[in-house]
Each structure stands twice: as structure tokens, then as C-alpha cells.
Amino acid sequence: MIHNFNAGPSFLPQSVLQQASQAIMNFNNSGLSILEIGHRTPLFESVMEEARSLVKELMNLDDKHEVLFLHGGATTQFMQVPMNLLNENETAAYADTGVWSTKAIKEAKLYGNVEIVCSSKDKNYTYIPKDFAISNNATYLHITTNNTIYGTQWQKIPAVSMPLIADMSSDILSRQLDFNSFDLIFAGAQKNMGAAGTTLVVVNKQILGKLNRPVPPIMDYQAHIQAKSMLNTPPVFAVYASMITLRWLKENGGVAAMEKLNTEKSKLLYEAIDNSKIFKGTVALEDRSKMNVCFVMDDAEKEKQFLEFAKQNNIYGIKGHRSVGGFRASLYNALPLSSVEYLVEKMKEFENSTR
Ligand SMILES: *Cc1c(COP(=O)(O)O)cnc(C)c1O
């Protein structure tokens, strides 16, 4: 068995992979593959409807919030959010907590003004800024709830008076939050809820329709809402993979159970790092992510050895991002506790062998 700690696309439950394979050969006993059915058939319409209603249920969303499955990854949302929400003369507030925020900021500047209300760039994004002010007239505040590359996570979501937008690509459905307090949430499916190719967007209808620029329908949230997320051919297979992953999540206790498991997994790994003489954590203790655990060694040669040792022991995907170095273990929902126990055991074994 391979223990897959990859940051994205990432580990999925065996049962999900089995159902997805089955659906490729013979979808719901239709004699057809999920890859060859029409998207405007009852066969697929029921997949899309179930995916959307599972999100509503798991996130406990009120009727103001609409659920969409779109194309183009979270990266498209960096553009689509300001294109739909920010007029040219207005100013949007952005929290700069890493590469993904930086990209979002760059896109927003194409549509209006941007005020960077806080940044942790001074320490290579190893912490989440705490005290910052936002001007009252900001059109919205954009935050990245979990910073995949650095391993930091907002533990306390800022309470603000303007609409709150969140990139939750790497911690969607991993912990209990008041999802209704957000006005727009987006997440590429490939990290915590399915396969690459679709992006979840949850949007409060009331923030839409205040724009004075025309938006092409394919980029227009209102057009997608009206079309029930079927404006054009949706990413059929990716939506299916998300739907069965969401079913798995519900069967396994929903968001509350995931939070408990993710807390347990991350605690185990952080304790191992803190008790080690060779492995070291990289971020502020209070901002540590439960999704992406980053750690390094002082000795570059030893780091190389550990990567090789990990590979030999069927540990996959723990090389750190090139901007941080060292290691990163991603502990998304589907990753079992036993994989983290295994990693911790191997880290200890390696440490003992290098003394
Ligand atoms: C991976 C990631 C993205 C980019 O997602 P794509 O689907 O590749 O566009 C954006 N934001 C965060 C926080 C991510 O982790």
C-alpha cells in the first residue's frame, strides 16, 4: 500500500475509486459509461442535483446560498470573483497570506482597486496576520482560509461588515465553520473533495447584480445559478467524482467527524515533529494548518536521505513546495489516521538510524 500525502490532486477513499471505475464501464446499470452520456439526461441531472444538495446539507447552507460546480479551477475564481463583484471605481480588500492570495490580488487589479489590508510576506508567509484594519467602504474582503504551500490556516475567521470571500481550496469541508457567514466560497475539487476538473462555488445571491459592467454568460454567476450549474456541458466526470466523495463524507459523519479526525491526525504529526531532534516545524504554532503540515531539517543532505527513505517505504508526495523546501504532508479528509501513524513511525525510525 502507498501512503499518499500529496498536496493535490490527492488521496481519495478506495470506495470512491471503485465506484468511479465502475461508472466508467457501466454507469448505474445503464449499459453506458459516465464518459459518454448526455449531460442533459436524467442520468446526469440527478448526479448534479445530488452533488449540489449534498454540499448544501454538509455545509448547513441557508436559502440565500447557491451551490455551483464550475470549470477552470480555483485560479479562474481569482478572476471571476472581481469580474462579478468589483466595479472599476471600487476597492476590494485582500489579505495576503501566500502565493494563492498574491495571484488573486493580481487578477482583482484588472477590474478595480485593491487594498492589501495585511500581509505575512515579511516572514515568507509563516504566520497569519492578526490585527489589521479594513476601510468600511471596501466592496469585499478576500481571504485564503488555508495556505497550502506554507501550512498556515486561519483559526479565527475575521468578522467583517462587508461581504466575505474565501478561497477554501485546501480546507473545504475539513472543519466546522459558519459557512453562511461567508458570501462567496470557492474551492478546486481536487484537494479535499474529488477529482481535478471542477470547482465548487457557494455564493450568497444577495451580493450579486450590483455590477455596471457586462459579464460574458460563462463567467456570470447569475447565469450559472439560473441554469442550475448546467449553462454549458459541465465537467461531468469530475462532478460525479465529487458527488460520490461527498456521499462518502456524509456516510462518515460529515464535517464534524472530519474535523475530529483531522485534528487527531495533525496533532499526532505535529507532536512527532516537536519531539524530534532533527525535524522542525516551519510556521507559527498558533497558525498551524491541520491540512498541510510543513517541516524541515537543518541538514540538506539528511533531507535528501529522508526523501529517499520515504520513497523506499511507500510514502508518496511529501516533498515540500519549492518555495519552502523540506517536507509537506497533506492530511486531507480522506487520508486515514493509520497513514499518519505510519509516517510518524518511519520518521522515528529514520531519526534513530541517523544518530
Ligand atoms: C491549489 C490551490 C489553488 C489553485 O487551484 P487550481 O484548481 O489549480 O486553479 C488556489 N488556491 C489554493 C488555496 C490552493 O490550494
Give, for ligand 1, the residue of 169, 184, 186 to mutate: max count of ligand atoms closer than 8 Å to Cβ: 169
Q: Which helix (H) or strand (E) holds 304?
A: helix 300-312
The residue whose grid cell reads 470547482 is: 199
The string of pLDDT tens digits covering residues 46-61 is 999 999 999 999 999 9
Q: Is 154 annotated as a binding residue?
A: no
Span from the CA of 194 to the centroid of ligand 1 (angstroms):
13
**How do the domains of the chain map onto residue ranges?**
14-252, 253-354
Euclidean distance between CA atoms 261 and 291, whole angstroms: 11
Local structure of 178: helix, strand or coil: coil
The domain 14-252 is classified under which CATH number: 3.30.70.3420, 3.40.50.150, 3.40.640.10, 3.40.1800.10?
3.40.640.10
Selecting among 96, 171, 183, 191, the annotated active-site residue is 191
If 0-12 CB within 10 Å is exposed, 13-18 middle and 19+ buried, where does residue 39 land? middle
Estimate to the nearest angstrom the gap between the alpha carbon of 218 and the chain centroid. Answer: 23
Average of per-residue pLDDT values in the chain: 97
Residue 119: per-residue pLDDT: 98
Task: Identify which of 187, 194, 200 has the alpha carbon closest to the alpha carbon of residue 12.
Answer: 194
Euclidean distance between CA atoms 64 and 56, whole angstroms: 11
Is 299 assigned a catalytic role? no
Indicate the DSSP class of residue 215.
-
Rg (CA), the chain: 21
Q: Is 233 annotated as a binding residue?
A: yes
Mean predicted confidence (pLDDT) in 303-324: 96
Task: Identify which of 148, 195, 152, 155 has the alpha carbon closest to the alpha carbon of residue 175.
Answer: 155
150's grid cell:
506554507
Give Cα separations from 32 to 26, 43, 44, 113, 298 (angstroms). Answer: 5, 10, 12, 50, 55
Selecting among 96, 167, 171, 220, the annotated active-site residue is 167
Residue 128: per-residue pLDDT: 98
Give, for ligand 1, the residue of 170, 174, 201, 331 to mutate: max count of ligand atoms closer than 8 Å to Cβ: 170
Span from the CA of 335 to the centroid of ligand 1 (angstroms):
19
pTM of the model: 0.98
If 0-12 CB within 10 Å is exposed, 13-18 middle and 19+ buried, where does residue 319 land? middle
Fold identical between 14-252 and 253-354?
A: no
Q: Is 100 annotated as a binding residue?
A: yes
pLDDT above 90: percentage of residues in the chain = 98
In 3-state terms the chain splits into helix, strand, coil percentages (rounded to 5) of 45, 15, 40
Architecture in CATH of 253-354:
Alpha-Beta Complex (3.90)
Residue type, 258: M
Euclidean distance between CA atoms 176 and 59, whole angstroms: 8
Q: Is 63 annotated as a binding residue?
A: no
φ/ψ of 23, rounded to 5, equals: -65, -25
Residue 355: per-residue pLDDT: 75
Span from the CA of 190 to the centroid of ligand 1 (angstroms):
9
Q: Is 274 annotated as a binding residue?
A: no
Residue 201: per-residue pLDDT: 98
Give, for ligand 1, the residue of 75, 76, 94, 142 to mutate: max count of ligand atoms closer than 8 Å to Cβ: 75
Mean predicted confidence (pLDDT) in 1-21: 97
Q: Is the CB of 167 under 6 A from ligand 1?
A: yes
b/e code 43-63 from CB counts within 10 Å (16+ = b)? ebeebbebbbebbbebbebee
Apex 102 CA angle, 99 and 108, nearest 5: 145
Confidence band for 300, pLDDT divided at 50, 70 and 90 = very high
Confidence band for 110, pLDDT divided at 50, 70 and 90 = very high
Q: Is the CB of 152 under 6 A from ligand 1?
A: no
Mean predicted confidence (pLDDT) in 243-263: 98
Q: Are 335 and 265 in contact (CB under 8 A)?
A: yes
Estimate to the nearest angstrom the gap between the alpha carbon of 83 and the chain centroid. Answer: 21
Mean predicted confidence (pLDDT) in 201-212: 97
If 0-12 CB within 10 Å is exposed, 13-18 middle and 19+ buried, where does residue 229 land? buried
Listed in sequence order, the residues at least 6 apart from 100 whose beta carbon sits closer than 8 Å to its beta carbon are 74, 144, 147, 148, 149, 167, 169
pLDDT > 90? residue 24: yes
Count of residues making up the chain: 355
Residue 8: per-residue pLDDT: 95
Residue 31: per-residue pLDDT: 97
Is 100 assigned a catalytic role? yes
Q: Are 150 and 283 in contact (CB under 8 A)?
A: yes
